[in-house]
Chain A
Amino acid sequence: MLNLLSGFVEELRRAGLPVSLTEHLDAAEAVHHIPIEDREALKYALGATMVKSASHWHAFETAFDIYFARGLGTGDDGTPGPGSPGQGDESRLPGDQRGQQGGGAMDQMTPEELAALLYQALLQGDQPLMRLVARQAVTRFAGIEPGRPVGGTYYLYRTLRNLDLDAVLARLVGQAKRERQDDGDLSTLDERLLGDEYRGRIDQLKKAVEDEIRRRLVEDRGAEALAKSIRKPLPEDLDVMHATRDELATLQRALRPLSRKLAVRLARRRRHRRRGPLDFRATVRRSLSTGGVPVEPRFRHPRPAKPEIVVIADISGSVASFARFTLHLVYAIQSQFSKVRSFVFVDGLDEVTRFFERADDPADAVQKINTEADVVWVDGHSDYGHALGVFFDHFGGEITHRTSVLVLGDARNNYHASEDWVLAELRKKARHLYWLNPEPKDYWGSGDSIISEYGQHCDAVVECRTLRQLERFVGDLE
């Protein structure tokens, strides 16, 4: 057990969770106190001692499922409860024959029967039956090839595609509607609730399928190898430019608490960091309690410095998701800046501040920007030179010594003229000029990237690929 635990801790660390030695010891100690056969309790015991942040829970859970897969020396291998059809034959099979050639009653079922069983399972929310169906579906559809170093995403996709869950969902809702029609109308509210109910069950089924695939992969190649192919960066370390749609959704969720935290921190620091000038009256008043000796000087509260921010963002295809996050974050903590103006460009340039001012939710605003902003001038390929030129002609006069200018983009200019004199001018007028580049540093200056040409005029060029880097940068803005 302790060896297994050490391996598990290693894996957590590789996945980026900061597990300290004391926490490892605590976990080892905690394991003694819980009944060893209780998988859930084990999970929470390990979680409580080693995972100290809610955003890391998902990574922990994934690793846990791999290292302490169902059926690990315990009776709980997802054997269905009594009363489920097909269960008798299925559970008599030893685990390792249950793979592709297993021959229980379910394996002789026609696809139609399996689909009917799936439908029943979802209709009744019958968990054991769902697990059974999931196992069978994986056997039939996933086509797992032993020994291949994969994480199973493709197997999952293949299985789910064959189950066609969207159609099943529609059928479930339709069925429920027809039943209810007999005793009165089904209001939209009820319909919505039913839909959510079934969607929840389908998610459970997906989870069961995923578990099953993982279990088989662990059997095939061992926990450590699988963990390696399945490992994902933590939300704050995800590369924004290459995130998948699901990952982007995760990022989106992470962004709101993050921006709230950032706002609190900025406000606090602005309040506490520096003392203002000596407050003479307060000092004298205070000195009365020490017999007129000014033992403890008092200071005025400093005026909080709230910078003005101008964001100029490239929203061409290659860096769009990055620009979106940055705009999001800047607007989410808008209260910490005295003024925020934002401009987006591809080869033309448009001001988009108005979208943020009208929208309640930054997400809506971003949506609008993508559809309404007038950013294409000629062909829709980034032209930094032209965009900067337009910016300077129209808005250059509004840059003052209080303004911090942020340029977001990869500086891939498609071999147009760089017009870097604009940045030199901006630098002279503005308080700070920063360039945030969402590309890895190694790629800077390769191909049509002219970041060094622009960079020489900036106060700093910052590599900004993850939320963590972005947060750090915005937190340090003054």
Chain B
Amino acid sequence: MTTTTDPLGLGDIGPARFDSIPTVRDGLAGVGYLADEGIAGVVYLADRLAKPVLVEGPAGTGKTQLAKSVAELTGSRLIRLQCYEGLDESKALYEWNYRKQLLRIQAGQVLAEADLGAGPDHHSPTWAELEEDIFSEDFLLTRPLLEAIRADTPVVLLVDEVDRVELETEALLLEVLSEYQVSIPELGTVQATRLPMVFLTSNNTRELSEALKRRCLYLHINYPDIDRERDIVRHKVPGISDELADQVARIVRSLRTIDLRKLPSVSETLDWARTLVVLGISSIDATTARDSLNILL
């Protein structure tokens, strides 16, 4: 407890970003994200344990927004990797800039020819020199994961909809997530100078691999309870009366108890509340509810 031992072999995990769970909660509220106990607790732990957070839950409950808000709160840059089927190494980690390399080689040839008359003591570069030259950092195109690792300013890395990549591609993430490093065969291993905070979101369209889950803290964000939803509505919809916000939250809660094919999400609740405000409705009765319900469902 007293000594922050180094359970992950990561060296110094850096100064704590947050003092306590309530600080996280208040801080997030300060940037407009109303977290509940669970969310704040997991964010706090993620920082203390230096572990990525895997966020799951129904669509539109603020999974991506959580990462953005944490970035805003900690004053970090948000680096986002949007996952899709077919994402590969060269889009996620790094890529060699072939064209530039090619140019470099051609330029070398041209220069060598021009130098032929310069004198006998000049020699053209050997293959080894050339190889070292074209596989240097100048020719490296960093992609989000490598960028997050190499950044020397504080960074929040968001890997969005990680369930969309294939199972095999998921393995790409593992090194970054557990060791905070990227191995590049030609260059060696790039270690993170400052550990980024990492958030992964998933819409649960498939089961993620055990290996990935094991490396993350798991956070399931469900639909908020009525008090939190009411606060969110009040917070996010300017000019809404308390009474209306309360009504909105209650109607949405009732809707969620019905077995609908797709339950209304928080973002849809907000859209609905905004519409009601724009329409100048101060109190919902059955007719207004029915007429504007298509926004919600």
Whether B56 lies near A54 (C-beta < 8 A) is yes
Residues in A lying within 8 Å of B, measured CB to CB: 18, 20, 22-23, 25-26, 29-30, 32-35, 38, 40-41, 44-45, 47-49, 51-54, 57, 187-189, 192-193, 196-197, 200, 257, 260-261, 264-265, 268, 272, 360-361, 363
Residues in B lying within 8 Å of A, measured CB to CB: 1, 7, 20-21, 37-38, 41-42, 44-45, 48-49, 51, 53-54, 56-57, 85, 166, 204-207, 210, 213-214, 216-220, 222, 226, 247, 250-251, 253-254, 257, 259, 261, 284-286, 289
In the bound complex, residues from chain A placing their C-beta under 8 Å from that of B206 are: 261, 264-265
In the bound complex, residues from chain B placing their C-beta under 8 Å from that of A196 are: 250, 253-254, 257
- Contact residue among A40, A48, A53 (Cβ-Cβ distance under 8 Å from B217): A48
In the bound complex, residues from chain B placing their C-beta under 8 Å from that of A200 are: 226, 253
Looking at the assembled complex, report how far the CB atom of A311 sits from the nearest CB atom of chain B, in whole angstroms: 23
- Contact residue among B7, B44, B218, B261 (Cβ-Cβ distance under 8 Å from A52): B218
In the bound complex, residues from chain A placing their C-beta under 8 Å from that of B216 are: 52
Whether B41 lies near A188 (C-beta < 8 A) is no
In the bound complex, residues from chain B placing their C-beta under 8 Å from that of A40 are: 37-38, 41
Whether A33 lies near B48 (C-beta < 8 A) is yes
Looking at the assembled complex, report how far the CB atom of A118 sits from the nearest CB atom of chain B, in whole angstroms: 22
Whether A260 lies near B205 (C-beta < 8 A) is yes
Looking at the assembled complex, report how far the CB atom of B263 sits from the nearest CB atom of chain A, in whole angstroms: 11
**CB closest chain-A residue, reference B219:** A48
| Seed contacts A26-B217, A193-B247, A200-B253; 16 additional CB < 8 Å A-B pairs | A20-B210, A22-B214, A33-B44, A41-B41, A45-B41, A45-B45, A47-B38, A49-B45, A54-B57, A187-B285, A189-B251, A189-B285, A196-B250, A196-B257, A261-B206, A261-B207
In the bound complex, residues from chain A placing their C-beta under 8 Å from that of B284 are: 189
- Contact residue among B49, B213, B220, B286 (Cβ-Cβ distance under 8 Å from A29): B49
Whether A23 lies near B41 (C-beta < 8 A) is no
How far, in whole Å, are A363 and B259 apart by their CA atoms in the complex? 11
- Grouping DSSP codes into helix (H, G, I), strand (E, B) and loop, the A interface class, with mixed when no group exceeds half, is helix
In the bound complex, residues from chain A placing their C-beta under 8 Å from that of B37 are: 40-41, 44
In the bound complex, residues from chain A placing their C-beta under 8 Å from that of B218 are: 47-49, 51-53
Whether A30 lies near B49 (C-beta < 8 A) is yes
Whether B286 lies near A189 (C-beta < 8 A) is yes
4 closest cross-chain pairs (CB), A and B? A44-B41, A52-B213, A48-B217, A33-B48
Whether B56 lies near A34 (C-beta < 8 A) is no
How far, in whole Å, are A23 and B222 apart by their CA atoms in the complex? 23
How far, in whole Å, are A197 and B253 apart by their CA atoms in the complex? 9
In the bound complex, residues from chain B placing their C-beta under 8 Å from that of A48 are: 38, 41-42, 45, 53, 217-219
In the bound complex, residues from chain A placing their C-beta under 8 Å from that of B7 are: 25, 29
With A25-B7, A29-B7, A361-B261: A54-B220 Cβ-Cβ less than 8 Å = yes
How far, in whole Å, are A272 and B257 apart by their CA atoms in the complex? 39
With A25-B7, A261-B204, A265-B206: A34-B220 Cβ-Cβ less than 8 Å = no
How far, in whole Å, are A303 and B250 apart by their CA atoms in the complex? 50
**CB closest chain-B residue, reference A199:** B257
In the bound complex, residues from chain A placing their C-beta under 8 Å from that of B166 are: 268, 272
In the bound complex, residues from chain B placing their C-beta under 8 Å from that of A197 are: 250
In the bound complex, residues from chain B placing their C-beta under 8 Å from that of A30 are: 45, 48-49
- Contact residue among A20, A35, A57, A264 (Cβ-Cβ distance under 8 Å from B214): A20
In the bound complex, residues from chain A placing their C-beta under 8 Å from that of B1 are: 32
